[in-house]
Structure 1
Amino acid sequence: MSKFTVMGPVDQRAQVNPFAPGYYETDELRGFGFRRVGEGVRVAKNTTIVGLENVTLDDHCRIDGHCTIVATGGTLRLGRYVHVHTSVVIGCRGGVVLDDYSGVSHGCNILSASDDFSGQWMHNGTVPAHLCRPTIEPVWIGRHVAVGAGCTFLPGVTLGDGAAVGAHSLVQTDVPPWVIVAGTPARQVGVRSRRLLALVPREDAAA
């Protein structure tokens, strides 16, 4: 006789998983004070967002759990079908845009402001502002951009449409359209196919 007991299927309807807090969806999100919330938007309930009035969430975008978005001093726009994966940090002081169909993988940092670490000025958010000299510039991530896990984007960078960034890269300069970059600092390692453009719905392709 076997020492193992064969268990029957568990009735999932009778269980609540306390480790899956779920998502807020469009109807709820529209009552929270965002600048705009489109159709089919989902934001994980364990996400931290401050400065809701400066955040635009376009149709069918999604923000997964444990992300931190600070938009008290600048704006954020997530375009249509944008996916922000888990544990992403977005600092919006200089303004941040993730355009349509772009995706940012787990653990990325998108920084539109950065302190001066040269020693000429003080730094960190508790110090009086007149003693600091941060770099504050917008970050623009274009349409169809694919970003691997653990990347960091510094203030002022623009990623052209269709660009791709390998995991754990440091992006401190602009990336041309349809170029693949990787490394610290990021450098071109390839060219990306444009075949995906044929898959875009006609109404979006004309936008």
Structure 2
Amino acid sequence: MAYLSRTELIKFGFKEVGENVYISKKASIYNPSKIKIGNNVRIDDFCILSAGNGGIEVKSYIHIAAYVSLIGAGKITLNNFCNLSSRVSIYSSNDDYSGEFLTNPMVPNEFKNVTSKDVNIGKHVIIGSGSVVLPGVTLEEGVAIGALSLVNKSCEKFTIYAGSPISKLKKRKENLKKLEEIIINSPA
């Protein structure tokens, strides 16, 4: 996988870009001036980061696997130590599917009814492959989402969810917080 060089990252025009950042040359980035990237971040091939008015904030120690998409007008925040598995889609905007309005970005706004709400992915969250997260969702710290899940509601901290739509399965262990402390307090 070929990554953008530090010089290329700076020239790209991100609002902020940290250290130890690896973004594939095959990723698609739209509106980089509205995107913040922290430290120790890897974004793999064929990802789409399309920042709307709210922007996208990718904090530190984050992996975004191949084919992930972050799209919408609302703000999308990925907090420290979260992981998005391949083909995860996070939407901060959604068309009205009722049939009362037209849909798609090529239709003038007065004929559409688009909902845009911020999405917040908490610290230590992992989202399994092929899952979809809808506008307005908050995944609190430590949430785990099983593969192929539809996340249409906010989730409680350190809980495992799965399904379409999601349902609560069980509590998640919190040992990862101790491991975080070791990494944070280790000499560089």
Partner of 1:87: 67
Bigger Rg over Cα:
1
Q: Is 1:105 matched with 2:85?
A: yes
Counterparts of 1:54-203 in structure 2, within 5 Å, are 54-201=34-181
**C-alpha displacement at 1:204, in angstroms?**
4.5
- Offset, 1:202: 5.8
Alpha-carbon offset, residue 24 of structure 1: 1.0
Letter in 2 for 1:82: I
CA contact (8 A) 1:26 1:38 kept: no
- Higher RCO (CA-CA < 8 Å; seq separation 6+): 2
* Count of residues in correspondence between the two structures: 185
SS at match of 2:120: strand
Greater than 6 Å deviation, 4+ residue runs: none
Q: Deviations over 1:100-145 (max 9, x none)?
A: 0000000011000000010111110100011111110000000000
Aligned to 1:35: 15
Give the aligned partner of residue 47 of structure 1: 27
Q: Percent identity?
A: 33
Contact 1:69–1:92 (CA under 8 A) maintained in structure 2: no
Q: Aligned residue for 1:9?
A: none
- Tell me, which stretches of 5 or more residues in structure 2 are unaligned? none
- The alignment's C-alpha RMSD in Å is 1.4
How far apart are the structure 1 equivalents of 2:127 and 2:109?
A: 33
SS in structure 2 of the partner of residue 198 of structure 1 = helix
* One-letter identity of the residue aligned with 1:138: D
CA distance in 2, matches of 1:106, 1:152: 11
Partners of 1:26 and 1:37 within 8 A in 2:
no
Deviations 1:22-80, CA, capped at 9 Å, x for gaps: 00143420121000000101100000111000000000111000011111433000010
State the 1:201 CA deviation. Answer: 3.2
Question: Which whole-Å CA distance do the structure 2 matches of 1:114 and 1:90 have between them?
Answer: 12
- Could you tell me whether the CA contact under 8 Å between 1:37 and 1:58 is conserved in 2? yes
* Structure ranking higher in strand proportion: 2
